[in-house]
Amino acid sequence: MEKKKRNKFSIEDRERAVLLVLGEGHSCCSVARMFSTADRLIGRWVSCYKQYGVAGLSLKNHMRYSGDFKLSLLQDMLLNHLSLHQASIKYHVNDSVILSWKRKYEQFGRSSLYEEKTRGRPPKMKKQKNKLIEKNIPSNPYQELVEENLRLRIENEYLKKLQALTQKNKGRKPSRS
């Protein structure tokens, strides 16, 4: 069984669907069948078109929202009893994004809305230039001596404990199995 690809509609397709609903009086369900998509999606396009015009049908909104904006949106939802869909249209933010903010807020509190999420794939290896620069920089000789002294003390303690254990084990007779 083949997996059906997700439809991506151009702004012109979205506008044509909206005009079929608003201009020609088709229902969202009938237009959704024509475009092979969900009627809820058509309804969202119609609502965004009514609120913002053609700009409301934009494909992607690459906005970074501040923590204050996220918090004010969630508070507005609570105070005015807005649904996800209504808040999505009012603020022109995808409802799945609002839902993720709401879950973060409920689980981790207000501070989680202010955290910046790192974007992109992390690098596999660190750059070699930084290591080379660190090796070439002479460090404080006194600090080096202090660190070496600490390493030697730790090594000395380890050897003493090892020697004590070996002497203790020699005192025991080996058991036959």
Asked if the structure places residue 13 within a domain, the reply is yes
**What is residue 135's predicted lDDT score, i.e. its pLDDT?**
58
Q: Which helix (H) or strand (E) holds 99?
A: helix 95-108
Count: domains in the chain: 1
CB atoms within 10 A of CB 172: 7
Asked if the structure places residue 42 within a domain, the reply is yes
Query: How far lies 136's CA from each of 41, 128, 131, in Å?
Result: 60, 13, 9
Asked if the structure places residue 39 within a domain, the reply is yes
Asked if the structure places residue 64 within a domain, the reply is no
Asked if the structure places residue 85 within a domain, the reply is no
pTM: 0.54
Is residue 34 within 8 Å of residue 45, measured between CB atoms?
A: no
Domain enclosing residue 49, as ranges: 8-59
Dihedral sign (CA 96, 92, 105, 80): negative
**What is residue 72's predicted lDDT score, i.e. its pLDDT?**
92
Q: Which helix (H) or strand (E) holds 47?
A: helix 39-52
Asked if the structure places residue 158 within a domain, the reply is no
Per-residue pLDDT of the chain (177 residues; tens, 9 = 90+): 454 555 578 888 888 999 999 888 889 899 999 888 888 888 888 888 888 888 888 756 667 888 899 999 999 999 999 998 888 888 888 888 899 999 999 998 888 888 877 778 887 876 666 555 555 555 688 888 999 999 999 999 999 999 998 888 887 766 555
Distance CA 16, CA 57 (A): 11
Asked if the structure places residue 46 within a domain, the reply is yes
Average pLDDT across the chain, whole number: 82
Asked if the structure places residue 21 within a domain, the reply is yes
